[in-house]
Amino acid sequence: MNPLAKTLNEQIQQRAPHVFELLSGLGKELYFPKGILSQTAEARQKATRYNATIGIAKEGGEAMHLLSVMKNFRGLLPDEVLTYAPAPGKPELRSRWRQELFQKNPTLRNKHISLPVVTSGITHGLSLVGELFIDQGDTVLLPDKSWGNYRMIFGVRRGAEIKTYPFFSDDGGFDTEGFRRTLFEYTGRGKIVVMLNFPNNPTGYSVTEPEARSICDALTAVAESGCNVVVVCDDAYFGLFYEAEVLKESIFGYLANCHQRVLAAKLDGATKEHYVWGLRVGFLTFGTSSGDDEVYEALEKKTAGAIRGNISNSSHLSQTLVLRMMEDAEYLEEKQKKFSTLRARAAAVKEVLAQERFAHVWTPYPFNSGYFMCLKLNGIDAEVFRLRLLEEYGVGVIATNNSDIRVAFSCIEESDIPELFDVMYRCAEEIAAK
């Protein structure tokens, strides 16, 4: 094992031994190399005459560039667009994102969390979590209503055993009892990885405060029983909470620092939250009971090492644009306007689906947030419905299993929502009549 990895492991093991136990075999091996990167960092500070360390071309004191490229970036300097970003991300963006985490999540304000590491989108962040904490055969617990890519990231790429807990209870809320019961079924190996995703993809459901506390109590009870827990909070659609009873912050705030055997990992980003999907700017933040700076520093360095050994670093241009956006005086007002548009679309969907005529062909699942909602088709195969709707009516939706259809109301104008469901209803009636 590389001596740098050994040093990071010792930092974690001495201050948070249960966090060390949660690391995968790969996670224990990871480190951030000194080599060229550290020597270049030293040179940036001390090479006042000539700096011949960095692997880019320079001209006239700035990054060499083509005018045909830079003319597309008015107001930005070549060094803000074209150079490499540090592996863990631009320091000023990382600091600004953590500042906003405390502003948006009141429960975090008396807790100590890591500095967020910049990832190339939330999917990349999830993959990093897998590399750091999941070995072949480890149990990963997903909701039975979940984004299909989790199985690729954790099951296929890391060899985890995927298990599921029931997402909805019979009364239409989050199934806290089913979650607790299922959680305790898979604690025998002494380690479990639990995925929480609110607002949920595909259902668009977010938990209430009592439900969030029940989830936290269940995870704490599992930790008390002697099982180490990694809780992964996928907050991709954070902030898009449309109804009064919905918890308006991340459940990460409840879980960070909750128990010495619980490591909370928060995945979020500008991707959906700020409507810049293709910029691929996400963040990975850790919360442990120790809240120890050296533990967080070690985890951040291991994460940076995983990034360095895979994609090298995330896009500098994208990070610059996100930071500029967050520093803009109009940023919060613009964001609120887009939120209002999406909330109005969600309300329009609820109003349309309240019509009794739909009841014999589908049942809506509860939704209160995010981009999506789901319908449970009554006696109709979802894939048959999806294909007929697409081929006969020119309408696209997603079949998530044999009975469920996901509708992304986020990309439908409010005025078009009644017609969308009318068309879907006609299609369902045609299939049901056969």
Stretch(es) of the chain classified as CATH 3.90.1150.10: 332-433
Q: Mean per-residue pLDDT for 340-368?
A: 97
Residues 115-171 pLDDT 10s: 999 999 999 999 999 999 999 999 999 999 999 999 999 999 999 999 999 999 998
Residue 434 has pLDDT above 80, yes or no: no
Structure confidence by residue, pLDDT tens digits, 43-60: 878 988 888 887 899 999
> pLDDT band at 27, cuts 50/70/90?
very high
Q: Taking residues 242-266, what's their average pLDDT?
A: 96
Q: Which two tokens stand for residue 269?
A: 């980003």
Q: What is the pTM (predicted TM-score) of this model? A: 0.95
Supply the pLDDT for residue 45.
Answer: 83
- For the chain, the average pLDDT equals 95
Structural domain 8-32+87-327, CATH architecture: 3-Layer(aba) Sandwich (3.40)
pLDDT given for residue 44 in this prediction: 78
Read off the pLDDT of each residue in 26-54 and give the average, rounded to a whole number: 84
In this prediction, residue 303 has a pLDDT band, given cuts at 50, 70 and 90, of: very high
| pLDDT confidence of residue 49 | 85
What is the Cα–Cα distance from 403 to 401, expressed in whole angstroms? 6
Q: What is the pLDDT of residue 34?
A: 81
* The pLDDT of residue 373: 98
Alpha-carbon span 324 to 196, nearest angstrom? 30
What are residue 105's phi and psi, to 5 degrees? -130, 85
What are the tens digits of pLDDT across the range 368-414?
999 999 999 999 999 999 999 999 999 999 999 999 999 999 999 99
Short-list 100, 162, 122, CA closest to 266: 122
Distance CA 69, CA 353 (A): 49
Query: How high is the pLDDT of residue 51?
Result: 83
The rounded Cα 409 to chain-centroid distance in angstroms is 20
- What pLDDT shows up at residue 174? 98
CA distance 284 to 303: 9
Q: What is the tens place of the pLDDT at every residue in 273-293?
A: 999 999 999 999 999 998 899
pLDDT digits (tens, 9 = 90+) for 208-223: 999 999 999 999 999 9
Comparing CA positions, the residue from 305, 311, 314, 293 lying closest to residue 26 is: 305
d(CA 134, CA 140): 8
Place of tokens 């449970």: 376
Q: Does domain 332-433 have CATH number 3.40.50.720?
A: no
Q: Which amino acid does the sequence have at 416?
A: D
Portion of the chain with pLDDT greater than 90, in percent: 91
Euclidean distance between CA atoms 231 and 9, whole angstroms:
20
Predicted confidence at residue 52, as pLDDT, reads 87
How far apart (Å, rounded) are the C-alpha atoms in residues 407 and 182?
A: 28
Per-residue pLDDT for 41 more than 80?
A: no
Residues of the chain with CATH 3.40.640.10: 8-32+87-327
Q: What is the pLDDT of residue 155?
A: 98
